[in-house]
Amino acid sequence: MSGTWLDEIRWTDDGLVPVIAQQAGTGKVVMFAWMNRESLALTNECGYAVYWSRSRNKLWRKGEESGNRQKVLAISVDCDEDVILLSIEQEGGISCHTGRESCFYRTLERGVWQENSPVLKDPAEMYKK
């Protein structure tokens, strides 16, 4: 992939950049993931989030199995050029593989992680194999 804007990103030694997905309108952070050069270029080209799955070692088109795609409205980079922020519209209202709106569904309260949002859809219904 070529393009000077991609060259301006400060990639990690393994060629990745951390990415935060934030719901447009509400500003709620719904997800954190990684992108490589190819996935960031594809995200920009197609208008939907494409991440790099470190566990599967392959491109991951968000929603390819669940249907919960992320339409990208804006791509921003931080001042150090080492973190990407996506402003997204979350299709289906579910970002997390657990069936919740956000992956950040637990809050530390008095030394214990407490769930702060409900499951909106059973993961078994989203991930039929």
Query: What are the pLDDT digits (tens) for 78-99?
Result: 999 999 999 999 999 999 999 9
Q: What is the CATH number of the domain that holds 77?
A: 3.10.20.810
Exposed/middle/buried for 10, CB within 10 Å: 0-12, 13-18, 19+?
exposed
Predicted pLDDT of residue 4 = 86
- Segments forming the whole domain that contains residue 70: 4-97
- The answer to whether position 110 is within a domain reads no
- The answer to whether position 113 is within a domain reads no
Residue 128 has pLDDT above 60, yes or no: yes
Q: What Cα–Cα distance (Å) separates residue 23 from each residue in 38, 57, 58, 89, 125?
A: 23, 26, 25, 6, 23
- The answer to whether position 68 is within a domain reads yes
Query: What are the pLDDT digits (tens) for 7-65?
Result: 999 999 999 999 999 999 999 999 999 999 999 999 999 999 999 999 999 999 999 88
- The answer to whether position 108 is within a domain reads no
Helix (H) / strand (E) containing 41: helix 37-46
d(CA 7, CA 95): 29
Total domain count for the chain? 1
- The answer to whether position 25 is within a domain reads yes
